[in-house]
């Protein structure tokens, strides 16, 4: 038989080690930082889409532009975000806001995990941008994040979102 202290030591050795990212912490969920990072990323994707469409401001006034932008924007954002998360563990805006996504072992999420996460964010977190639906999705996502300290999609995929310490330099 193994003495109790040896048994508990063996159990601790099996637990995944916390990654040692300098300046990172996971003490709180930071929903507003995540919200603003998401919308800055979406603005970047919209600008990219607008540029791809030729940068014609008259197109914005067309009746179909909203739906067209919504569908194409989501179709453009999901693959871009998927590749960025799988490669760097962050996106442009997440980087600026000090946010990164990783597996619990500290590695970047796989391409499949990143894709599933991005699709979940667009469908369950943003309601595909559909007016009224997006309000409910944002509310429930916010409540879930505040209650559990992590989003449902991150929890289900075994992903961790870390936030670097917020300081004056990062705010600027």
| Top-confidence residue, 8 or 40 | 40
Q: What is the dihedral of CA 141, 145, 146, 149, to 10 degrees?
A: 170
Cβ density class 38-73: b for 16+ within 10 Å, e for less = bebbbeebbeebbeeeeeeeeeeeeeeeeeebeeeb
What's the token pair of residue 139? Answer: 């509310």
Residue 90 exposed, middle or buried by CB count within 10 Å (0-12, 13-18, 19+)? buried
Query: For residue range 113-168, what is the model confidence (pLDDT) as tens digits?
Result: 999 999 999 999 988 878 899 899 999 999 999 999 899 999 999 999 998 887 66
| Edge-to-edge order in the sheet of strand 24-25 | 24-25, 159-164, 99-103
pTM beyond cutoff 0.85: no
User: Residue 165 to residues 151, 152, 160, 162: CA-CA distances in angstroms?
Assistant: 20, 23, 16, 10
Select the more confidently predicted residue: 161 or 4.
161
Q: What is the pLDDT of residues 101-112, one digit of tens each?
A: 999 999 999 999
φ, ψ at 158 (rounded to 5°): 70, 35
Cα(102)–Cα(121) distance, integer angstroms:
16
User: Residue 18: pLDDT band by 50, 70, 90 thresholds?
Assistant: very low
């Amino acid at each position: 038989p193994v003495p109790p202290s040896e048994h508990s030591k063996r159990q601790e050795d099996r637990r995944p080690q916390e990654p040692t990212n300098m300046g990172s912490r996971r003490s709180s969920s930071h929903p507003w930082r995540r919200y603003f990072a998401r919308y800055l990323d979406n603005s970047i994707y919209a600008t990219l889409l607008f540029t791809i469409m030729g940068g014609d401001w008259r197109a914005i006034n067309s009746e179909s532009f909203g739906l067209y932008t919504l569908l194409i924007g989501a179709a453009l954002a999901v693959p871009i975000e998927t590749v960025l998360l799988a490669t760097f563990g962050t996106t442009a805006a997440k980087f600026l806001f000090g946010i990164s996504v990783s597996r619990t072992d500290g590695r970047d999420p796989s391409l499949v995990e990143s894709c599933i996460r991005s699709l979940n964010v667009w469908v369950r977190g943003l309601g595909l941008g559909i007016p009224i639906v997006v309000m409910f999705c944002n509310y429930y996502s916010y409540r879930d994040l505040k209650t559990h300290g992590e989003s449902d999609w991150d929890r289900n995929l075994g992903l961790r979102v870390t936030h670097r310490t917020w300081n004056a330099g990062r705010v600027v």
